[in-house]
Structures are given as structure tokens and as C-alpha cells.
Amino acid sequence: MTTVIRTLLIANRGEIARRVIRTCRASGIRAVAVFSDPDAGAPHVREADFAVRLPGASPAETYLRADLLVEAATRAGADAVHPGYGFLSENADFARRVLAAGLTWVGPDPESIEAMGSKVAAKKRMAAAGVPTLPELDPQAVGEFPVLVKASAGGGGRGMRIVRGPAGLADALASARREAESAFGDPTVFCEPLLEHARHVEVQILADAHGTVWALGERECSIQRRHQKIVEESPSPAVNEDVRRRLFAAATAAAESIGYVGAGTVEFMLKGEDFHFMEVNTRLQVEHPVTELVHGVDLVEWQLRIAEGARLPAEVPGPRGHAIEVRLYAEDPAHDWRPASGTLHRFHVPGDVRLDSGVEDGSVVSVHYDPMLAKVIAHAPTREAAARKLATALTDARIHGLVTNRRLLVEVLRNEAFLAGDTHTGFLAEHDLTGTVDPQPFALAAALALAARRRTGHLPLGWRNVRSQQPKARFLFGEELVEVAYDPAQATGDTAVLDLAGVRTPFHVSTYGDLVEVDSPLGSVSLTLVPRFPEPRSALAPGATTAPMPGTVVRVSVRPGDVVAAGAELLVLEAMKMEHRVLATSAGTVTELLVEQGRQVDAGDVLAVVADTSGDRS
């Protein structure tokens, strides 16, 4: 039976919504966006042909409301729904609601989603189909360590914890269950043996309703933080032809065992030449662009065509060259991957790269959603060329207003072990790539640029009657105070060219209030201008611990009067879809506890006070 999709509702937001809209434009299909209140001005809303508001802010109020999404599709006259990834993309009940409303579901049958929705049940089914699997361990009866705690529903690294001994198991199970319940509405978790120094390799599958299944190349996704991928590539540098043949056969068997139709991914852990099944993602993956670039296909177009009843050609498109993708997040790798929210003043990535982005200049990154800003993907004839192209594009990018993981990504792409293909899921733990940068030349360039802007025929800022003393400027680089002396006569405008050990190096300076962004071939630095005469601030009580970001308190681990060591967990915040532990910065006694479970807090709110009572004699 042939279906014609004329108007498509995209039940998602941000980058993936824009990605689907792009294919709709090329295919002559009208696109309907949905948006929460924080997303009212988002690019995906403006780019769609129609848009429907979902009142509220949190995912639970908006993008996770199947009833509102189906109602929006009906009101907008859509005849099909594309779920994107995340949110309800792997929710069989949502797929059934879409079909019950007489709409076309752009995805696999609800039965296939359900079959793979529980990782516990999926592993049993795959084992029966002859796909290699790791043993499932009862969380209450784990005897050997290390183990990996995993959420049975959902994916994306949420609800996963590594446990290396019995002492940490109970806390890991409780934390994983909380995160799984919050992310997927299902707290079920299980354990399996942890494969140290293994690789995360997955196979893209595409299947039509007429019995044809494509195994469309493999992707390596081993470089991860908090069990979430940040660098993906195709093909894998570790997969030879024999392993590839066996991977493709296992992925095809997995798809055929559940009658799969549409785009999906079969994920494996690979160690040496042996691999074990992890899960089937019954949706489009975040990292799908690397497959598209290597194989010359539009996976979203094929999702739509398969939903309309089209047949796949018998011959699978072969690979060409190498593609690498990085996920650019608004987060601080040096501070436990702390997410950032706020205004992105400037966002520009140059070069011959593909940019799949949910943001643009002036976008506001909300605390309610994942902090991923964009995916940047490079394709080249060789892996080395792709890595070089991608690292250069990231270095030359203008990303102003929010801290990001950009520097870390560049360090990965230029790392010798990465370039040699020696990657595994513990790569970031093994390689310290959060190295520091010398802020002095950046601060000097900022001082010169600011002096040039203030020179308007009056005395330049910092003029002194004592000619022998140079004016000085002070900036904050993170929490570090940086002071530079400069000659205002050398001020040259927005671009300051400095002589660094005989090498002329340009620094481009942009300002947004007190925020100063400095970009150069050496990298980029964010500075905060310290005023010469700062306004007095109310001082925090000694030992006060403040919220590093807006979020919700999901666990309080101490009580007033408790004696804690430095680094002890005080409480846990949930922010931007992840849990973040708030730790005591010094040893002492909890004298004040100002929050309780379930409370919303803003960045800078005082959460607790840990007083140094070591000198008390009473």
C-alpha cells in the first residue's frame, strides 16, 4: 500500500527538528513544528511552514505529552509524524496514538519498538536470534566487579553507572533508577559485566516493508563522557573486513528477528575482534550524519520514503572516504561537565564542514533541555584529513556567550592516540585533555581593543599624570584574576596583533557588556572585565556552598549537624537532563541546610553552609 506524505509534524525540537525540516524542503513536504514556551523564538519554529505551541516549559509538560502532539498534528492538518530522537521517539504507546489518529508514523512498528524498548527483554531476544550478548546480572545478586548499571528503557547514557566494588552498588542503583525514571518514566535497571577498554561500535540499519535490510556501514562512538558520545566516526579504525562482515550479519539478524522497518541502529561493544550486543535504537541516531556523508544517502529522506511504502534498492551504497562528527555542548569539561545556560551571542563555524545546529546568534540555551548546541561533521578522503579539517573548523569558530567543550574536542582530534585509532570508552579518563591555556596574551589583546574603542577624542581609559606608569586592565578568567599592563598608543581596534616570541599573532576581540570574547589561531578565551571601582557585594558566609547551575534538588545527602569531609556529597541537582553531585569544598560541620528534595534553585543560590569547626574546644 502506497502512502503520500504531504504535511509532516516533527515531534521534537532544536537540531533534529531543523534537520528534518531540511529534508522536507528538499522533498516538497510541508513541515509542522511544535514548541514549548522557552522555544517560542527558536530557529526550528521559524523555519517550519506551520508551528503549534505546547504550553509549558519542561519536557513533561510539552515534548513528552503524546496527547498534545497528536492534537497538534490534527490541528495543523498533518498526515504524518516524525519523532526525531530522544523524547517519545522510542515510545510504542506514542506510535500507537499516532496510528490510531489516522496518521502515518515515520518509524518502525510499535511492536518492534516495544520488543527493543526493554533492554532486558531485548538481550534475551537477541541471544535467541544468535546475536552474541553479555550475561545479564541481577542487581541484587552481583558477585563480581566491575559492573555497569544500565536503565532498561531509553538510552543516551542516562541511567548508567560504573560500579567497581560492593560498597558503591546501592548508591549507583538508586541514582540510576532516579535518572531513568526522570528521563524515560521507567526506573527499571539491570547490571552486566563491564568490558574495560572496549569500543562502542554500532551498525546503521535501514529496512523496508518488503523484506530488504541494509547494513549501511559501522560507526565508532567510543569517545564518551558520562556514557554519552561526543565523537563519532565512520568507518571504525578498529574494524577489519572479517569483523565488519560478522557485525553486519549480526545487525541484519537483529533487524530481521523483530521484523524491523525503517532506520535504526544496532549497538555493540567490541574488544579485539569479539563483540557483544548492547541494544537496538529504534530511531534515527544523533550521529547519523557520518553515515550519510560516507555513503551518500539522506537517511531522513529514506525514513519518509519507507513510511510511504517505497522499496530499497537491492544494492547497498558503498563507502567513500571518512567522516568524523563532534557534539558541541554548552558545558565545562574542567568542572565535571557542568552544563551552561543563557544567551549565545555569536555562533559561527567556518570551513568545509557540515553543521547541524539547533542554535544561532542570539539563541537562548534553556535549562530545561539537553545542552547540545550543534554537531560539526567533516568528510575527507582519509581519517587523518577529516580530523585535521574538523579541528581547524572548531578552532576558527566564533562561539560567544557560553562555556563549551570546544577546546576538549580539538584536543581529542589532535591527540596522537586518537589519530592512531587507539580509542575506547575510557579514553577521556585515560587522557587528560582539559589542559589550561595562558590567558595573558588574550587579556592583553582585550585591553588594547577596549582602549581603542574608548579613544574618542578624550583621554584614553587609564590615563595617568605619571607618564612612567603604564595603565592596567583586570579581567577574570574563570575564577582567576588576570592583570595586564598595556600601552594605549598601541591600541588598534577589534583585532590586536601581538608579537609572541617573534611570531605575529592576531587576536579578535568581541564584547557583550562586561563579557569579553577573544578568538585567535591559538584558541579562544572568555574573559570578564573587572571594573576599576567595583560596586560592593554582599559577602557569602564562610563555608557557603552555592548552586553551580539552575536545577532541581533530587537528593539531599546530609543533615544539619553532620560532620563531612572535603569532597563529600551534600546533595544532587538535576539540570539539563543529567544529575550533578554538589560536593563539600572543605571539611567541617553542616551548620545550615537551605534546600529540600524537589526544590528548584537558581545558579548562585546558597544550598548549604559547612563551617570549619576544627578549632572548637567545647
What is the chain's alpha carbon radius of gyration, rounded to the nearest angstrom? 26
The answer to whether residue 269 sits within a structural domain is yes
Side chain identity at 539, as an amino acid letter? Answer: A
Same domain, 208 and 311: yes
Instruction: Give the CATH number of the domain where residue 287 resides.
Output: 3.30.470.20
Same domain, 257 and 376: yes
Same domain, 209 and 189: no
Which of 481, 501, 529 is where one domain is finished? 529
Strand partners of residue 133: 277
User: DSSP readout, 398-456?
Assistant: EEESS--SHHHHHHHHT-HHHHTT---TTHHHHS--------HHHHHHHHHHHHHHH-S
Among residues 246, 271, 267, 298, the alpha carbon closest in space to that of 204 is found at: 267
What are 551-593's pLDDT values in tens digits?
Answer: 899 999 999 999 999 999 999 998 887 788 999 989 999 999 9
User: Which of residues 454 and 326 earns the better pLDDT score?
Assistant: 326
Cβ(356)–Cβ(374) under 8 Å? yes
Which of 399, 430, 461 is where one domain is finished? 430
Taking the CA atoms of 432, 438, 443 and 445 in sequence, report the sign of the dihedral they define: negative
Same domain, 317 and 426: yes
What are 120-154's pLDDT values in tens digits?
Answer: 889 999 999 999 999 888 888 898 999 999 988 76
Among residues 9, 19, 72, the alpha carbon closest in space to that of 43 is found at: 19
Side chain identity at 455, as an amino acid letter? Answer: R
Per-residue CA distances from 518 to 11, 216, 331, 414, 489 (Å): 38, 42, 18, 22, 20
With a CB cutoff of 8 Å and minimum separation 6, the contacts of 140 are: none
The answer to whether residue 117 sits within a structural domain is no
Same domain, 35 and 97: yes
How far apart (Å, rounded) are the C-alpha atoms in residues 383 and 273? 21
The answer to whether residue 111 sits within a structural domain is no
With a CB cutoff of 8 Å and minimum separation 6, the contacts of 327 are: 229, 230, 231, 286, 372, 374, 375
The answer to whether residue 95 sits within a structural domain is yes
Per-residue DSSP letter, 91: -
Beta strands in 11-115 (DSSP E): 30-35, 50-53, 80-82, 104-105
Per-residue DSSP letter, 541: P
Same domain, 294 and 332: yes
Parent domain of 153? 135-193
Same domain, 174 and 83: no
The answer to whether residue 308 sits within a structural domain is yes
Single pTM value for the model: 0.90
Instruction: Give the CATH number of the domain where residue 176 resides.
Output: 3.30.1490.20
Lowest mean pLDDT across 102-116, 158-172, 339-353: 158-172
Collapsed DSSP state (helix, strand, coil) of residue 600: strand
Same domain, 244 and 288: yes
Query: What band does 473 get if pLDDT is binned at 50, 70 and 90?
Result: very high
User: DSSP readout, 250-318?
Assistant: HHHHHHHHTT--EEEEEEEEEETTEEEEEEEE-S--TTHHHHHHHHT--HHHHHHHHHTTPPPPSSPPP
The answer to whether residue 113 sits within a structural domain is no
Cβ(571)–Cβ(593) under 8 Å? no
The tally of domains found in the chain comes to 5
Same domain, 47 and 174: no
The answer to whether residue 423 sits within a structural domain is yes
Side chain identity at 478, as an amino acid letter? Answer: G
Same domain, 306 and 168: no
Same domain, 228 and 326: yes
Which of 473, 500, 529 is where one domain is finished? 529
Same domain, 299 and 416: yes
With a CB cutoff of 8 Å and minimum separation 6, the contacts of 508 are: 494, 495, 518, 519, 520
The answer to whether residue 600 sits within a structural domain is yes
Lowest mean pLDDT across 215-219, 262-266, 317-321, 338-342: 338-342
